[in-house]
Amino acid sequence: RPLSSKSVQGLYPPGSTFKMVTALAALEEGIIGPEETVHCPGHLEVSNRKFHCWKRSGHGNVNLETSLRESCDVYYYDLALKLGIEKLSAMAEKLGIGVRFDVPMSAVARGRAPTRAWKKEAFGKDWVIGDTVNASIGQGYVAASPLHLAVMTARLASGRAVQPRLIRSIGGVDQPSGQGTSLDFNESNLRMIRRAMYSVSNHSRGTAYNSRIIEDAFRMAGKTGTSQVRNISEEERRRGVTRNDDLPWNRRDHALFVNFAPFDAPKIAVSLVVEHGGGGSAAAAPIARDITLQALYNGDPPLTAYPEKDRSRIRALQERLKRERPSTPDRGRA
């Protein structure tokens, strides 16, 4: 889709970046506590169909933090079956998904937090339990733009109904700040979600650990996501079709990452989609980390902010970009 602003018009399955929605909904409804566990054997059978976890051998017993850190799918399947789609969709909208934001751009997408009524109206079909299972991990009918995911992340970080804005002032008159009012979440529940997101980026078993920020003052909390462009059928699985890399480019998974930083006093929220990029851990998280550091340092960050394995690559990149930047004329000289 050339000439479209994909940051506000592009709609994608949010994949595992949606898991915070499912987790917070379950916490707010009292369905699960932070230390309660769900057993993941690698799949969950629902209505004679197996819904697979990305880790086929399973994660074993996982609690909220472990499930988000290692991105266990079965944990969220289980929560969604207890929640139901209406409560899940209500939480998604509260966090900004399925909302058309009032920003001065054309064709800003609404996104989709699907409900039973929506499916009936859109397709003339009843909602089925498998739809709820898919929605729990940001697949199926759920759709969000990068803007939606940035707002979702900012709301999780702040607990407020943050609104996006592009214009700071008009004619010297400040426009509304966009900070919004409190969303009235239980603060303890929000802390659990934020801590789990921190674990994603800073625990050695977190899916974004390889893209962490080393500088203590700027540590980030995040979530990786990989969203399917096409389903792999049971028949294809039996024939060994499981590798995303074996598919044509336009049928490969999208890679996503969302984060906020600094963890202790958030200033920015980032969302990033790499179309058909594959896994969020490998393709999206490193880019989002680099954007975050550039924003927080207002320029090239010191190499000590990066994991040691990345420093030579970052040094070479910074040097190349400096060479390629157009020189700024010295306006103080004739």
Q: Who contacts 271 (Cβ-Cβ below 8 Å, separation ≥6)?
A: 17, 146, 147, 149, 150, 152, 153, 256, 257, 258, 288
DSSP H helices, 229-304, are 234-238, 285-297
Q: Domain 6-159+186-324 sits in which CATH superfamily?
A: DD-peptidase/beta-lactamase superfamily (3.40.710.10)
Q: 166 by DSSP, 3-state: which?
A: coil
pTM: 0.91
CB neighbours of residue 165 within 10 Å:
15
- Name residue, tokens 């916490």: 27
| Distance from C-alpha of 277 to C-alpha of 148, rounded to nearest angstrom | 20
Residues with catalytic function: 16
Both tokens assigned to 151: 């707002």
Span 270-282, mean pLDDT? 94
The pLDDT score that the predictor gives to residue 236 is 66
Integer angstrom CA distances of residue 225 from 206, 208, 322:
13, 10, 32
Residue 176: what pLDDT?
77
Q: State the DSSP H helix or E strand holding residue 272, giving kind and residue range, or none if neither.
A: strand 268-274
pLDDT of residue 166: 86
pLDDT value of position 334: 39
Taking only the tens place, the pLDDT of each residue in 129-179 is: 999 999 999 999 999 999 999 999 999 999 999 999 888 888 888 877 788
> By C-alpha distance, which of 206, 180, 210, 184 is closest to 195?
206
Sequence spans of domains, the chain: 6-159+186-324
Residue 229 confidence (pLDDT): 83
Using an 8 Å Cβ cutoff, are 262 and 220 in contact?
yes
Per residue in 96-107, pLDDT (tens digit) is: 999 999 888 888
Where residue 33 falls among pLDDT bands split at 50, 70, 90?
very high
